Structure 1
Amino acid sequence: MRTTLIFGGFVSLIGTAFYPIYFRPLMRLEEYQKEQAINRAGIVQEDVQPPGLKVWSDPFGRK
């Protein structure tokens, strides 16, 4: 029983940490895209992108 509680607590901790990082942007796609547009305003990709690497793309865009 104690091992189950410890393991369950660990899994809950990992889930709690991943929610704002991964799941929240997926569930609120339009809000996330607006935030990213504001955060990336004024950034010229060619100035910050190392040569020879693929240009940034929208991770939620259609392929």
Structure 2
Amino acid sequence: MTATTTGMLVGAVLALTALAFGFWAFVFVAIAMAIGFGIGRVVEGKLDVRGLADALRGRRSS
């Protein structure tokens, strides 16, 4: 199991725990899975955080 998969699994477990509380729990599921996926990609070294931050600030176009 890769770090990305593990991160997504942890996010999903945390989100499903909150699912019993209604619609906002669904929103939490999506956010938790995205965060888990992102953390997993950073741990694997497949996501360059500095490059992403520069792109969001407009310092890089691609």
The TM-score normalised by the length of structure 1 is 0.32
Q: Structure with the greater relative contact order (CA < 8 A, sep ≥ 6): 1 or 2?
A: 2
Whichever structure has more helix as a proportion of its residues is 2
Length-normalised TM-score, structure 2: 0.32
